[in-house]
Structure 1
Amino acid sequence: MAGSSLLALIDDIATLLDDVSVMTKVAAKQTAGVLGDDLALNAHQVSGVNPDRELPVVWAVCKGSFVNKLILVPSALLISAFVPWLIVPLLLIGGAYLCYEGSEKLVHKFAGHAEADSESHYQELIEAVSNEQLDLVQYEKDKIKGAIRTDFILSAEIIVITLGAVAGKSLWVQIGALSAIAVLMTVGVYGVVGGIVKLDDAGLHLIRNPAAGLWSRGKQAVGGFLLWLAPKLMKFLSVAGTAAMFLVGGGILTHNVPLLHHAVEGIGALLPSLSWLITALVNAVFGVLLGLAVVALVALYGKLFRRKRA
Structure 2
Amino acid sequence: MASGFFALLDDISALVKASAASMDDVPTQVAKTTGKVSGIVIDDTAVTPKYVVGLDASRELSIIYQIAKKSLINKLLILSPAALLLGYFAPWAITPILMLGGAYLCFEGYEKVHSMFSKHHDKQDESEPAEVITPEELEKKRVAGAVRTDIILSAEIIAIAYSQVTGQPILNQIAVMLAVAVFITLAVYGFVGLIVKMDDIGVHLAQDKYPPGIQKFGRNIVKFMPSFLNILSYVGTAAMLWVGAEIIAHGIPFTNHLLHNLEHALAEMPLVAWFAKALACGVGGLILGFVIDKIITLSKKALPLKTASATASDD
TM surpasses 0.5: yes
Structure possessing the higher radius of gyration over alpha carbons: 2
For 2:90, the equivalent position in structure 1 comes to 83
For 2:18, the equivalent position in structure 1 comes to 8
**Residue 258, structure 1, aligned to residue 264, structure 2:** no
Q: Separation in 1 of the partners of 2:124 and 2:220?
A: 27
Q: Separation in 2 of the partners of 1:264 and 1:65?
A: 30
Aligned partner (choices 205, 212, 215) of residue 220 of structure 1:
215
How has the CA–CA distance of structure 1 residues 169 and 72 changed in structure 2, closer, same or farther, with 3 Å as cutoff?
Answer: same
8 Å contact from structure 1 (residues 64, 148) kept in 2: no
Aligned partner (choices 268, 277, 295) of residue 272 of structure 2:
277
Deviation at 1:305, TM superposition (A): 1.4
* Alpha-carbon RMSD: 3.5
For 2:182, the equivalent position in structure 1 comes to 183
Q: Separation in 2 of the partners of 1:117 and 1:198?
A: 34
For 2:50, the equivalent position in structure 1 comes to 41
Q: Separation in 1 of the partners of 2:59 and 2:264?
A: 54
Aligned partner (choices 159, 169, 172) of residue 154 of structure 2:
159
8 Å contact from structure 2 (residues 199, 221) kept in 1: yes
Q: Per the alignment, in what secondary structure is the counterpart of residue 273 of structure 1?
A: coil
Aligned partner (choices 281, 288, 297) of residue 292 of structure 2:
297
For 2:6, the equivalent position in structure 1 comes to none
How has the CA–CA distance of structure 1 residues 146 and 78 changed in structure 2, closer, same or farther, with 3 Å as cutoff?
Answer: farther
For 1:66, the equivalent position in structure 2 comes to 72
8 Å contact from structure 2 (residues 30, 176) kept in 1: yes
- Stretches of structure 1 that go unaligned for 5 or more consecutive residues are 129-133
Q: Separation in 2 of the partners of 1:282 and 1:207?
A: 42
For 2:198, the equivalent position in structure 1 comes to 199
For 1:101, the equivalent position in structure 2 comes to 108
Deviation at 1:268, TM superposition (A): 4.2
**Residue 244, structure 1, aligned to residue 254, structure 2:** no
Q: Per the alignment, in what secondary structure is the counterpart of residue 52 of structure 2?
A: helix
Aligned partner (choices 23, 32, 43) of residue 42 of structure 2:
32
Deviations 1:37-57 (A, max 9, x none): 12x23332xx432x4444344
Deviation at 1:113, TM superposition (A): 7.1
8 Å contact from structure 1 (residues 36, 240) kept in 2: yes
How has the CA–CA distance of structure 1 residues 75 and 295 changed in structure 2, closer, same or farther, with 3 Å as cutoff?
Answer: same
Deviations 1:138-158 (A, max 9, x none): x44x35533442243233213
- Stretches of structure 2 that go unaligned for 5 or more consecutive residues are 1-9, 306-315
8 Å contact from structure 2 (residues 52, 142) kept in 1: no
Identity %: 27
Deviation at 1:117, TM superposition (A): 11
8 Å contact from structure 1 (residues 36, 237) kept in 2: yes
Deviation at 1:270, TM superposition (A): 4.0
Q: Per the alignment, in what secondary structure is the counterpart of residue 94 of structure 1?
A: helix
Q: Separation in 2 of the partners of 1:85 and 1:223?
A: 53
How has the CA–CA distance of structure 1 residues 80 and 3 changed in structure 2, closer, same or farther, with 3 Å as cutoff?
Answer: closer
Aligned partner (choices 226, 237, 242) of residue 231 of structure 1:
226
8 Å contact from structure 1 (residues 42, 147) kept in 2: yes
Deviations 1:238-266 (A, max 9, x none): 23323333443333233331112333333
8 Å contact from structure 1 (residues 99, 245) kept in 2: yes
Letter aligned with residue 179 of structure 2: A
Number of residue pairs the alignment of both structures matches: 287
How has the CA–CA distance of structure 1 residues 20 and 187 changed in structure 2, closer, same or farther, with 3 Å as cutoff?
Answer: closer
Letter aligned with residue 188 of structure 2: V
8 Å contact from structure 2 (residues 96, 251) kept in 1: no
8 Å contact from structure 1 (residues 100, 292) kept in 2: no
Letter aligned with residue 187 of structure 1: L
